[in-house]
Amino acid sequence: MIIEHIDAQLPGIVTDRHDFRGDQTIVVAAENLLAVVDLIHREGFQLLVDITAVDWPQRPSIQGSGAAGRFDVVYHWLNLASQERLRVKVPVADGGTVPTLTGQFKTADWYEREVFDLFGIRFDGHPNMKRLLTWDDFPGHPLRKDFPLDGGDVFCMEGCTAPFNNGERNQER
Amino acid sequence: MESIAMTRQQLDGDKMIVNMGPSHPTTHGTLRIILELQGETITKATPEIGYLHRGVEKLGENLSYQQFIPLTDRLNYCSSIMNNVGYTTAVEKLLGIQIPKRAQQIRVLVSELARIADHLVCVGVNAVDIGAFTAFLYLFRQRETIYDLFEMAAGQRLHTSFTRIGGLFRDLPEGFVPLCERFLVECEESIDEMERLLTRNPIWHDRTKGIGAISPEDAVNWGYTGPCLRAAGVPQDLRKAQPYLGYETYDFDIPIGTTGDVFDRYLVRTEEMRQSLRIIRQVLDRLEPGPVMIDDPKVALPSKEKVYTRMESLIHHFKLIMHGMDMPVGEVYSATEAANGELGFYIVSDGGKNPYRIRVRPPCLPIFSSFEDQVKGGLIADAVAVLGAMNIIAGELDR
């Protein structure tokens, strides 16, 4: 139902959609995300349930176009009045950015930090884009598919600049 | 993260930095809060999490769907059975299967027991942190009984791993139902005792009323779910709003608060325990005999007896263990009402033996992210009360 509203008010913005097991899903480009969020926020989707991402390292080569990008940033919304759920997926290339939602949803703050921490996707305009779960000097982004399961380097100290590792703490922060 | 060295340089005037955690008795798990104090008033609070990050989601990508179940025990370890239920419900949604009626009823039964155990710990420990030690002792006796029940059902007290995809690991043993009946009576009495100690206690009122108050709009904006959201006055409970496991057939009420402060959260949790007892009563009344595992050789492991005597069952067993279930390609998000709020599992399947991506949406992460907002301008002792009432469980916070 909400998808028809989006289609009517923002025609052509939804690039893909599916409805697997009753989960309505739309795909929008990163530059259109804020327009969609504005609309669905007005339509009553006020509980931002979750932000996460999925890594598809093979995808650009499969689809042949650079538009798709390596990652999907996945948002889940819940409409408290109608109990409708909506999943919005935003494809983003490695090194690309997604606009932050911290302006509308305070809960986006930590979720976006977590996605940055685990996937290395940056959010444009986020007030505090720092790692959430791992530490500042952690090498790499663990939930990327090319990150080894055992962490690779057992002490995770490669490139570490903490004082106990023969270097100064990163000053640029 | 401010290092200790930096905070020393920042020491000027009356400002003082207090480092709460990572192993502070009131943080209940390993989480750290860096408090900036002006006298005893908090001017800034920076939570730092991740001390219990074990990479559950990464591990899940490298384990089969069944093998992930024990990891869900370690999310909210105060009510691990609810995580088992939440996860297997999500995989069943992905598979598009329905579990037998008795399995649904038993899942509801153990979920509500776990909800009571979780709320008992939350309320009891919150009271201990604030200085009311006695209530905790009355409550913990009941939690002990719940863990005895879990031990009877699952063979484990804390890390239950009770559910399986398609049903349950086994049926309830003999002696479970009588003990559960006795528990219903005794728990009611213990909650009464606890209420006599706390609900009209003026010291408890002084310490909890108006502390951590939050408006319904803010609570929704912060992504609150569960008792904390309901205490703020939003009647959102997935058991009523989006029923699963046949919750729509049980008769129970959703308690809501008005101000969202620590006292309202306490009242909401207390009433939820009573409602859970009501649900358990109804489950026990209607519990009917039947299978507890789906009758589908593509999902359920055959019994050992059949594996050793029948060729077909042996093949099914081999196929399930070696190649896993036939998973459809797709993605699902499934949420259940856990003790802390909405526990969601987002599973992306590429049709393989392991999930391509498994995401746990923990209820207490968004709640804890509002911590600074909640305690700013309050006293340091109030921070302890707010932290306890949020019921932060580091296992699910950090995953």
Q: Which of A41, A49, A70, A89 to mutate to test the interface with B (most CBs of B within 10 A)?
A: A49
Answer yes or no: is pLDDT of A154 > 90: no
Residue of chain A minimizing CA distance to B334: A23
Please state, in angstroms and rounded to a whole number, the distance separating the CA atoms of residues B252 and B34.
Answer: 41
Return the bridge partners of A73, or none: A53, A90
pLDDT score of B8:
55
The SS3 assignment for B396 reads helix
The distance in angstroms from the start CA to the end CA of chain A is 45
Max intra-chain CA distance, chain A: 60
Note whether B359 contacts A85, CB cutoff 8 Å: no
User: Measured between beta carbons, which residues in chain B are less than 8 angstroms from residue A114?
Assistant: 365
B113: left (phi over 0), alpha (psi -120 to 50) or beta: alpha
Band (pLDDT 50/70/90 cuts) for residue A159 is low
Instruction: Give B32-87 pLDDT, tens digit per residue.
Output: 888 888 888 888 888 888 888 888 998 888 888 888 999 998 888 888 899 999 99
pLDDT value of position A165: 41
Least confident of A134-138, B120-124, B272-276, B383-387: A134-138
Question: Is A143 in contact with B57 (Cβ distance < 8 A)?
Answer: yes
Distance CA(B75)–CA(B356), nearest Å, equals 20
**What's the CA gap between B293 and A117, in Å, rounded?**
40
Structure tokens at B96: 């598009």
CB pair distance less than 8 Å for B58 and A21: no
Task: Among B94, B234, B357, pick the best mutation site for testing chain A contact (most A Cβ within 10 A).
Answer: B357
> DSSP assignment, residue B271?
H
User: In one letter, which amino acid is A158?
Assistant: E
Of all residues in chain B, the one with the smallest CA distance to A54 is B357
* Contact: B221, A106; criterion CB under 8 Å: yes
pLDDT at B114 (0 to 100)? 92
> Residue B26: is its pLDDT beyond 70?
no
Q: What is the pLDDT of residue A166?
A: 41
Residues of chain A with C-beta less than 8 angstroms from the C-beta of B342 = 49
What is the amino acid identity at position B237?
A: D
pLDDT of residue A162 exceeding 60:
no
Q: Over pLDDT 90: what percentage of chain B?
A: 28
Question: Tens digit of pLDDT for each residue in A18-53?
Answer: 888 888 898 888 888 888 898 888 888 889 999 999
- Pick from A29, A28, A22: nearest CA to A84: A22
Q: What percent of chain A is predicted at pLDDT more than 90?
A: 14
From the number of C-beta atoms within 10 Å of its C-beta (0-12, 13-18, 19+), residue B201 rates as: middle
Measured CB to CB, residues of chain A less than 8 Å from chain B are 20-21, 23, 25, 46-50, 52, 54-55, 74, 76, 80, 83, 85, 87, 105-107, 109-111, 114, 118, 130-136, 142-143, 147, 149, 169
The pLDDT score that the predictor gives to residue B302 is 85
Please say whether the beta carbons of A69 and A85 come within 8 A: no
Given an 8 Å threshold on Cβ–Cβ distance, is B332 in contact with A142?
no
Chain B interface, mutation test: which of A16, A19, A21, most B Cβ atoms within 10 Å?
A21
| Closest by CA position to B269, among listed B203, B208, B215 | B208
3-state secondary structure of B43: strand
Nearest chain B alpha carbon to A137: B1
pLDDT at residue A57 in the model: 82
Nearest to A132 among B50, B62, B94 (CB): B50
Write the DSSP string, B281-329: HHHHHH-----SB-S-TTTSPPPHHHHHH-HHHHHHHHHHHHH---PPE
B39 Ramachandran zone, left/alpha/beta (phi>0; psi -120 to 50):
left
Q: Pseudo-torsion of CA B185, B189, B190, B191, nearest 10°?
A: 100
A37 to chain B nearest CA, in Å? 14
Give how far B279 is from chain A: nearest CA, Å: 23
Q: Which two tokens stand for residue B352?
A: 């393989």
Q: For B239-264, what is the mean pLDDT?
A: 90
Q: Do the Cβ atoms of A23 and B57 come within 8 Å?
A: no
Quote the pLDDT of residue B40.
Answer: 84
Angle at B337 between CA B300 and CA B211, to 5 degrees: 155
**Which candidate from A23, A49, A54 shows the least CB-CB separation from B342?**
A49
- The size of the A-B interface in CB pairs under 8 A is 96
Asked whether the predicted pLDDT for residue A164 surpasses 50, the reply is no
Own/partner long-range contacts of B104-108 (Cβ < 8 Å, ≥24 apart): B104/B245, B104/B246, B105/B246, B105/B283, B105/B286, B105/B287, B105/B288, B106/B153, B106/B168, B106/B171, B106/B172, B106/B283, B106/B287, B106/B292, B107/B163, B107/B168, B107/B245, B108/B245, B108/B246, B108/B247, B108/B250, B108/B279, B108/B283
When pLDDT is cut at 50, 70 and 90, the band that residue A65 belongs to is very low
pLDDT at B136: 84
Given this model, what pLDDT does residue A163 score? 47
Is A68 a residue whose pLDDT tops 70? Answer: no
Among B104, B76, B93, B100, CA closest to B394: B76
| Predicted pLDDT of residue A22 | 83
Residues A54, B1: C-beta atoms closer than 8 Å? no
Residue B99 has pLDDT above 80, yes or no: yes
Least CB-CB distance to A21: which of B50, B57, B94? Answer: B94
- Encoded tokens for B56: 């559950």
- Interval B352-366 mean pLDDT: 90
**Of B374, B336, B325, B361, residue with least CA distance to B67:** B325
What's the pLDDT score for residue B378?
85
Greatest distance between any 2 Cα atoms in chain B: 80
Q: Please give the pLDDT value at position B155.
A: 87
Per the structure block, which two tokens stand in for B299? 């999902």
Q: Rg of the Cα trace of chain B?
A: 22
- Gap between the terminal Cα atoms of chain B: 20
pLDDT at site B276: 93
- Nearest beta carbon to residue A21 from set B59, B93, B241: B93
pLDDT at res. B290: 87
Q: Nearest CA to B112 among B123, B101, B104? A: B104
Count CB atoms within 10 A of the CB of residue B104: 22
Consecutive H or E run containing B106: helix B101-130
> Which has more pLDDT, B142 or A166?
B142
Query: Region B141-164: what's the mean pLDDT?
Result: 89
pTM given for the model: 0.86
Pairing relationship of beta strands B15-20 and A122-124 according to DSSP bridges: unpaired
Look over chain B and give the mean of its residue pLDDT values, rounded to a whole number: 87
Q: What are the structure tokens assigned to B262, written together?
A: 């620590």
Contacts of B344 in chain A (CB under 8 A): 49-50, 76
Average pLDDT over residues B268-292: 91
Question: Has residue B130 got a pLDDT over 70?
Answer: yes
Which residues from chain B sit within 8 angstroms of residue A21, using beta carbons? 93-94, 96, 330, 332
Is the ipTM higher than 0.90? The answer is: no
Sequence-distant (6+) residues with CB within 8 A of B247 are B108, B239, B240
- Predicted local confidence at residue A169, as pLDDT: 41
Residue A60: per-residue pLDDT: 63
**Which pLDDT band, with edges at 50, 70 and 90, does B174 fall under?**
confident
Q: What is the mean pLDDT of residues B195-220?
A: 88
